[in-house]
Amino acid sequence: MSDDADLVLPPRPERPDDSDCCKNDCEMCIFTLYENKLAEWEKLCSDIKRKKCSKRLDLPSVLSQIKYTPFQLVSITTLTTDTNKYTFQISEKHLIDLKNEYSSVLNIEVGQHLIMKNKVGSNGCIITRAYTPISDVDTHMQGCFEVLIKLYPEGKMSNYIKSWTAGEIVHWRGPFGDFRYSRNEYEQVVMCCAGAGIAAMVRLIKSIVEDDEEETLVHLLYSCKKYEEMLMCDDISYFRAFCNFLCCLFVTQEIPQNVRYGETVRQGRITLNIVRKIVSEKSLEKTLVLICGTESFNEDMKKYALESGVLESNIRVF
């Protein structure tokens, strides 16, 4: 009998359906990712057969970068006039099909995002959008995740999302994103975000401030047009109780009288002088700047960070 009969080989990656491709030559093309996964699988199988590798893959995750997974919309929570929080759970039917008691776990790292698809128009053209989960690891262990989504009046995806009700089946793939953070790797992390861009920051903030061995200072600069449009306010208030978290909120319109106790709110935009002052409080080589907002906001913040002396390798735009 061949020795190969005793080997435990990983399952071959499943080829995506042709209908899953949006045919827009996007950076995260589902078939390009499939070819990469297939090449990795072939090499791994070859190494195992040659006794060069004893690696055995973990049980499959419910999420895949190359195949969309159905999730059921559990609830919709209104946060502002144009932004909601959506809670999803893996479809029970899909779990039954997987026949795997561990496959409900979602391996979503801090800073990673998921891609959602929808068909629009009479020709069934596929459009996709990326969203960053704001939920924690415990939630992901249960096969659930939460995302913030801002709805736009004329947005193609927004019009689809506006029709959602609890029980809706929505298809997601991922996670994507190679951002990695190591404990105490930096002296400070400066986060510049606008609007729904706060979603990319909250999980990392939580992981830092709740870690007793962390000495890294987190400085959040959060900008919105109106104070009432600020998102994740309860989370920000919770973070403020930790000694290694500082936050300044910026609004371009008049500051209302009903701001929360202890909040620092300034009228105006995040400027070069503000960024320069904050990043200079610690070693520039040990300062990480994270940015997430509109395209113009991201360009401005990156420019300010570079002009303030932050290393380009220490600047990350989500």
Q: Which residues are annotated as a binding site for FAD?
A: 129, 131, 148, 150, 156-158
Whole-angstrom Cα distance, residue 265 to residue 261?
A: 11
- Measured CA to CA in angstroms, residue 248 lies from 22, 45, 65, 77, 130 at distances of 40, 52, 36, 25, 27
Tokens describing residue 251: 């609004």
Binding residues: 129, 131, 148, 150, 156-158
Distances in whole angstroms, Cα of residue 186 to Cα of each of 218, 226, 254, 289? 10, 32, 35, 10
CB 302, CB 290: distance < 8 Å: no
Rg over alpha carbons for the chain, rounded to the nearest Å, is 22
Spell out where 157-292 has E strands. 169-176, 188-194, 217-224, 245-251, 265-267, 287-292
Alpha carbons 112 and 174: distance in angstroms, whole number: 9
67, 20 contact by CB (below 8 A): yes
CA angle 257, 261, 267 (to 5 degrees): 50
In angstroms, the CA 108 to CA 62 distance is 11
- Phi, psi angles (nearest 5°) of residue 195: 55, -130
